[in-house]
Chain A
Amino acid sequence: MAGRPGSSAVIGLLLLALLGAGVVVAATMGFMKVPAGQVLQIIFDALRGRGSGPDPVVVAVVMDVRLPRILAAVLVGGGLAVCGAVFQAILLNPLADPYTLGISSGAAFGASLVIVLQVFGLVLPSLFAVPLFAFFGAVATLFVVLALASGDRRLSSTSLILSGVIVAAILSAAIGFLKFLADEQVGIIIFWLMGSLSGASWPNFWVLGPVTMLGTAIAFHYSRDLNIMATGERTAVTLGVDTVRLRRILLVTASLVTAVCVSVAGIIGFVGLIVPHLLRALVGPDNRWLVPLSFLGGGLLLLSADTLTRAVLPAEVPIGVLTALIGGPFFCVIFKRRQRDDGAI
């Protein structure tokens, strides 16, 4: 088994370097090729608050079109992966993530509701109303899913995921109904269903950044308690962990982060499932490493996927479709292996 502090730190630094390089490389790619040196020049000039560059069009493409989307991809990917790690640790379930628990769908429903309310004349400031409604949708969904699964006292994987799937199915029908009501605004709702970062802007970044960072910090703060949770509720209490409080704080935090991610990028599945899983194989299950590394790994994964669909593929495939195409089979493999090992993952 890998996974002791030294190698974990190396993997962390490696991910950080890859992520930094990835941001620059992604900014060079697209319809207009921009050399890496020029990208760096533009970013540094912007950080120093100077207008720069010979060509204002290039500056606009990098600063106003590409960078907000690239940074949003990093933050959404990182946020979803941290949520996945948190849900998995709290619910003792390696199959849990915002998507499989139906929480992403709940957030998308909340977000769609804002659009429909606009159609009926109630115009809310969407920069804040969308994440807020998404949050209410996410929390409500979480409660329903946990209540549905709670008859099973051990909250076993299958009953929890089944509850998530059932609730997600109902929600997707409800979103279908909203689509019907939304009339001309239907395009925006379809966007939420498929997941896409094409609409990401700087204002989105200023909401995403603080929320995902804060969420990751909170998860990291409780990371040792999350480790203790792996011994089960009863033993965790005898080890001095206030499991009720921990669960409340972290489930609300993860729902908030999910909601903000969904309100910017729509439903992007399986990132929260794949990333903590791969990292656990690399650095072991210690959440003190897993939480921060999940943020970096998730950011790198979604940035790669988004750059692939934006700049490499001939036509832009919605990123939610792409991650589901990769993540679905991955989920099947984990599910199958779990059955064989009797939950021993």
Chain B
Amino acid sequence: MDSSKLDPLKQIALDQFVIITLPSEKCKIVELKGNTSVSLGKFGAFHVNDIVGYPLGTKFEIYYDSETVETIGGDEPVKPNKKNKITKVNIGKVRIVEKDTKRDDGLDNVGNSHNNKELINLGSDIQKMTSDDIEALKKQSTSANEIISKIIESHGTFDKKTLFSQEKYLKRKKQKFDKQFVVNYLSANLLLQYLIDKNDIQRIMDMSEESIGMLLNLANIRPNGTYLCMDETGGLLIYFLLERMFGGDDTTGATGKIVVVHENEHPNFDLLKYSNYSEKFIAEHVIPISILEYFEPRTVEEVELDFKPLSREEVSELKSGAKNTYFRKLKWHKIHLQAIDVATKWVYDGLVVATTLHLPTLLPQLGKRVHGSRPIVCYSQFKEVLLELSHTLYDDLNYLAPTIIETKCRPYQSIRGRIHPLMTMKGGGGYLLWCHKVIPAPEPELIPTESVPNNDKGDTVEK
């Protein structure tokens, strides 16, 4: 690694996509450009130059002092023209949050109750501060902690709450008034999380982190493999594969390739635009091919009928305009020739599929060019779809032991003395079908001297 440059895998670098976690636990994807600023809406805004160079994962806090006068338009990248009101956000300074513990010190100086029997619900009357008062405090750009402690002070029965509900109260207020944010590496996990939070479930086929994680392991994804893939999630699955194979780095020298069969004229790898791989790198390692080109490849003769490469002398005689056209055509010619190889010569080290096409007809076709002993993993949002596929594969001697798998992550409230599963969790997450490609043997010759067996099926027919 070049030590005179920032390492975008470790540090916050320029011209890099990062994902910012807000106090509300919502996320925002931002491309960092030098000498610009980023608005986090009600949480404030900051100068990109102030965060560049710090390690990824650093927690910052926006603060304001008398010098801050600059403003930036509100949170427009997320929701443009929200109610047609573009609010200006003050650009603050940032400082590093050194102490980042879960426990709240804000409660040390207030009393609490063992139970809530003295707590009477009086609604908003209990809070002596009005929302205008709070707005005024925010305008003064007081720190979140100060605002929160003022709110607690003015809360009539805060000390009648139990410690548990005090903490919950504090957490809610922090999510509202805190100006702290974390700048993270845009990993495939966080991109997935971002899409889930945005409620893009349909687009990503309801995939969960645990399902994709298991898919990558079951498919035995390695840096040097050649994989056949179908991805209907706009490139999310491919991003997971790329991250597992290359770890966000163009320069590992690993030779792995992903052939992506797509059903439209052009592939949809939208989400790869957030990745930090160069276009050249992606073109080299992600090879799109349409389902038609894959299953009905043209012949070399047909391709050569369209275009004949010229000899070196002929090329040098071309005018510069014609030369450019020639090289563009040559590039496409090479892509067409490669497509033929991809469809007819390449042998695959694994097959990974996330598509809503009819699997019982598709998979045995895609499986044909997978090498023996290599895994096949198929993702679906619905178990029934994989069930039908598994019955088809059971009857096909080229596939060993199709298995339907589900994996689910159950998160816990992870506070000492109060550990319990969270009250709600995400449903869905999909299912996997896992099997291995095998090569059936011809039935062996009968041993002539033996009597003819009456049970030809054999008793090890177990899949």
Partners in one complex: no
